[in-house]
């Protein structure tokens, strides 16, 4: 029988890319759940999942992870892949209570749902932001964690909740720490999407700080392959795993690479550094290589070119 996978945040960027990958294999039935949070336009999310509407192995439910009735209405499930969350470091500083409610409360509600239903595999989307400011790079899963934003603290809280439910109820919990995922379908608020849109239209791009901050940009197809490996993982009951690219680039270098893809120069709008932002991210992926056979293979130029190709194809009906 095909594994039945619940994906929360199914209409989002990573969720829709994951659905595409899982359905393409023919090995899974996918149940998607999303509440179409207003963080960015509903039309963009509906566009993300429109290609799956006629697939017999896909069912979609509109619902909220905080609502028990919405979860109880779902089909039988073998594995939960929990991607839904209130996203963004800076917005979390403005409304930390909401982020706690959705991210931590919603995750606990899902874990309770898993306990009630006897679902034994739970894959959770954590974040590199849990590392905070840590000059010892690359970051390994054993490093000291010092989150500096409410968003980051909620992700760490969810990891610890997963450990509790794994210990008490035998739910295998895999926390995957994502490192700046990008690619076709990326959220419109994220840097790469914003920069391509602004540069293409001749608008200035906001650059916070002096451009020396660096990120470990990870192409979405590589992240999705890591998630699928976690869906199939059975060797231990609780793991925290970095899913990064193990390469970094400065913000200044990223802008130059985007200019090359666009064939246009950026207009820089220099802004002060933002609270909650970390100066660098850089993943040690030795553990992911060992236990998930994870091996990111997409270089930044290829990934940016793929994104730009998608962007040009969709910009005419861009709901933004």
Asked whether residue 306 is domain-assigned, the answer is: no
320 pLDDT higher than 50: no
pLDDT tens readout for residues 262-271 = 999 999 988 8
> Phi/psi class of residue 180: alpha, beta or left (left: φ > 0; alpha: ψ in -120 to 50)?
left
Asked whether residue 90 is domain-assigned, the answer is: yes
Could you give the CA distance from residue 190 to residue 187 in angstroms, rounded to a whole number? 6
pLDDT of the residue at 189: 86
Helix axes 13-25, 42-49, angle to 10 degrees: 10
Asked whether residue 260 is domain-assigned, the answer is: no
Total domains in the chain come to: 1
Asked whether residue 61 is domain-assigned, the answer is: yes
Residue 231 sits in a domain whose CATH number is: 3.40.50.720
210 pLDDT higher than 90: no
pLDDT tens readout for residues 20-33 = 999 999 999 999 99
319 pLDDT higher than 60: no
- Check if 28 is active-site: no
Instruction: Indicate which residue of 131, 151, 182, 219 is catalytic.
Output: 151
Asked whether residue 95 is domain-assigned, the answer is: yes
Asked whether residue 125 is domain-assigned, the answer is: yes
> Phi/psi class of residue 263: alpha, beta or left (left: φ > 0; alpha: ψ in -120 to 50)?
left
Could you give the CA distance from residue 253 to residue 190 in angstroms, rounded to a whole number? 16
Asked whether residue 310 is domain-assigned, the answer is: no
* Residue range of the domain that includes 140: 3-182+218-246+283-297
pLDDT tens readout for residues 103-124 = 999 999 999 999 999 999 999 9
């Amino acid at each position: 029988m095909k594994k039945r996978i619940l994906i929360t945040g199914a209409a989002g960027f990573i969720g829709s890319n994951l659905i595409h990958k899982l359905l393409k294999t023919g090995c899974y039935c996918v149940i998607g759940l999303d509440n179409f949070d207003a963080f960015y336009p509903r039309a963009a999310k509906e566009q993300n999942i429109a290609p799956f509407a006629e697939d017999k192995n896909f069912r979609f439910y509109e619902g909220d992870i905080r609502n028990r009735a919405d979860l109880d209405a779902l089909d039988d499930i073998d594995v939960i892949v929990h991607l839904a969350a209130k996203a963004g470091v800076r917005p979390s500083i403005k409304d930390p209570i909401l982020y706690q409610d959705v991210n931590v409360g919603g995750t606990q509600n899902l874990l309770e749902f898993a306990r009630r239903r006897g679902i034994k595999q739970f894959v959770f989307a954590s974040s590199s932001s849990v590392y905070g400011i840590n000059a010892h790079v690359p970051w390994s899963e054993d490093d000291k964690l010092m989150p500096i934003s409410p968003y980051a603290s909620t992700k760490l809280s969810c990891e610890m909740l997963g450990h509790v439910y794994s210990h008490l109820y035998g739910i295998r919990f895999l926390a995957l720490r994502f490192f700046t995922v990008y690619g076709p379908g990326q959220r419109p608020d994220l840097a790469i999407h914003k920069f391509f849109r602004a540069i293409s239209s001749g608008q200035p791009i906001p650059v916070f700080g002096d451009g020396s901050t660096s990120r470990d940009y990870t192409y979405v197809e590589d992240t999705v392959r890591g998630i699928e490996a976690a869906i199939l993982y059975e060797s231990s009951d609780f793991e925290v795993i970095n899913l990064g690219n193990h390469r970094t680039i400065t913000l200044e270098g990223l802008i130059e690479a985007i200019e090359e893809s666009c064939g246009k120069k950026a207009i820089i709008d220099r802004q002060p550094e933002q609270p909650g932002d970390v100066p660098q991210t850089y993943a040690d992926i030795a553990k992911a290589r060992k236990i998930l056979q994870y091996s990111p293979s997409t270089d930044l130029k290829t990934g940016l070119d793929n994104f730009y190709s998608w962007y040009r194809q969709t910009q005419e009906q861009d709901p933004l």
